[in-house]
Structure 1
């Protein structure tokens, strides 16, 4: 069994009359790269704040490395990038990095940290003079300043262009390949699909799905069947059909039955491909089918 680094046990957290988390149980194990998905207000950031010791549950229990997240010694082994950061605009990049790393017994080397996140040469720049994307990359870099064992990244690539996003993906993959554990939230579902091994879907404060990316995709129960063909007859089980020239995309719950129907109808076709639905389609299926609370 892999070591459990963080654990929520029947956790409930409220903000006034709003229940942000409703009896959530979740384990984060050593070496995992977990994608935490959910609509706005689903409870993702609240869960991260509980693990990081920034909030306390109203009921249930939260553990970090086997103890309380309120223990500063245990928090030394985590890194966090929140959705929003408010770094002082007059400080220089090197001052911020040095200040943060000084809080850890084994802080990362400044030059190496900045290089990893594409900030080399910006040491003397003031925070207020950085672009939005540069500020975001710095905020993510600071999560790794203490050479953590476990990192929580809450919407880390918001505001980044495609190139910067891909570079950050590489940095996260390198950390994970070196034995690090990552919990990642993102509105970019292709980001979670590209990075995560395990996906946890949260909505209205509850965990609706928790499995591998492939297993969560399969929850939608649909397959994409693409082929090159002319006119097609009415085919059983086709939920959606799209055509791009001679290329046809068919969405179906039973790809085998669809292909058999094509053969029986003596439809000439080439280039048959069958693949699962995307994580985004599965996510929409999971959250759409969840009934509203009374």
Structure 2
């Protein structure tokens, strides 16, 4: 499989402090990769360097067999960043058409309006759009050049449910056609449903890399959900074997454990005051929280 992105020991420092720290990463063509991490982890800085908007302090970056700032490379990339800046006075249609002319093989104007869901707003001034509509405009601009490589930085923030569903349907269609997609998102269920690879960074460093299934399995954490009776105490739960985190929400309790069988056995053996027991395999959010807290 041909690599389309290569980061080799990349570091980016601001005022002597690393935002990205010795990051090495190879991404193959046709991949859908979710770049995850808590706020301040270095995700946006890493994406900005891949786009050529920032230069690394150390290390090398190659995109599409060239430098991120090469005109030929930029012609094959698209990016939807968190902030969408529009040109005063231009309508939605004029804004999209302007961006189309920056590329050698742009998508048709009517197609971009359709996939962004902005057909009814095409004659509205872009500056008058709502926050969610501006996000959809940003998506249209990112796709204007029919990119081989697409960056999506927190793409669905501010979108309503309908717009979000349409957005991900379009992204899935692009992925099925072999496009390479790099996305950052705080909505982990979105990353879980669409990405074939999850990359987790924290404090600028790579801490996990694999499929969603591999990431979830690597933490070996399952959860037990149940309703606590009036006689159950926190001390009784914390004294159970193999118990990790215990979270109370009213009378509902969630226990995280690497060995749920041992916990359940001890609960029954001690005749704890509980009912409505459920056991769940750890989800991506559980794995993510575990990884970034290490």
Report the TM range for the smaller structure's normalisation. Answer: 0.7 to 0.9
Alignment partner of 2:201: what SS? Answer: strand
Q: Which residue is equivalent to 1:128?
A: 127
Describe the shift of the 1:260–1:176 C-alpha distance in structure 2 as closer, same or farther (beyond 3 A). Answer: same
State the 1:169 CA deviation. Answer: 1.6
C-alpha offsets along residues 180-239 of structure 1, whole Å, 9 cap, x if unaligned? 111100122222222222111111111111111122223432102457998999653344
Q: Which residue is equivalent to 1:257?
A: 262
CA distance in 2, matches of 1:149, 1:159: 26
Alignment partner of 1:121: what SS? Answer: helix
> Quick check: 196-205 or 269-278, which moved more?
269-278
Q: Does 1:195 align with 2:194?
A: yes
Describe the shift of the 1:203–1:238 C-alpha distance in structure 2 as closer, same or farther (beyond 3 A). Answer: closer
CA distance in 1, matches of 2:74, 2:9: 22
C-alpha offsets along residues 92-112 of structure 1, whole Å, 9 cap, x if unaligned? 111111111111121011111
Alignment partner of 2:256: what SS? Answer: strand
Q: Which residue is equivalent to 1:144?
A: 143
> What stretches of structure 1 of length at least 5 have no aligned partner?
290-294
CA distance in 1, matches of 2:200, 2:167: 23
Alignment partner of 2:120: what SS? Answer: coil
Q: Which residue is equivalent to 2:281?
A: 276
Q: Does 1:101 align with 2:106?
A: no
> Quick check: 81-90 or 91-100, which moved more?
81-90
Describe the shift of the 1:15–1:262 C-alpha distance in structure 2 as closer, same or farther (beyond 3 A). Answer: closer
C-alpha offsets along residues 110-159 of structure 1, whole Å, 9 cap, x if unaligned? 11111112111222110122111101111012111111111001111111
Contact 1:219–1:286 under 8 Å retained in 2: no
What does 1:37-76 align with in structure 2 at a 5 Å threshold? 37-76=36-75
Alignment partner of 1:47: what SS? Answer: helix
Describe the shift of the 1:271–1:110 C-alpha distance in structure 2 as closer, same or farther (beyond 3 A). Answer: farther
CA distance in 2, matches of 1:197, 1:256: 30
Contact 1:104–1:146 under 8 Å retained in 2: yes
Describe the shift of the 1:62–1:243 C-alpha distance in structure 2 as closer, same or farther (beyond 3 A). Answer: closer
Q: TM-score, normalization: structure 2?
A: 0.87
Residue of structure 1 aligned with 2:293, choices 285, 288, 294: 288
Q: Which residue is equivalent to 1:292?
A: none
Q: TM-score, normalization: structure 1?
A: 0.87
CA distance in 1, matches of 2:9, 2:247: 43
CA distance in 2, matches of 1:107, 1:132: 25
Q: Which residue is equivalent to 1:157?
A: 156
Describe the shift of the 1:66–1:118 C-alpha distance in structure 2 as closer, same or farther (beyond 3 A). Answer: same
> What stretches of structure 2 of length at least 5 have no aligned partner?
none
Describe the shift of the 1:265–1:18 C-alpha distance in structure 2 as closer, same or farther (beyond 3 A). Answer: closer
Contact 1:222–1:252 under 8 Å retained in 2: yes
Describe the shift of the 1:72–1:253 C-alpha distance in structure 2 as closer, same or farther (beyond 3 A). Answer: same
CA distance in 1, matches of 2:24, 2:171: 25
State the 1:17 CA deviation. Answer: 2.3
Alignment partner of 1:207: what SS? Answer: strand
CA distance in 2, matches of 1:84, 1:46: 14
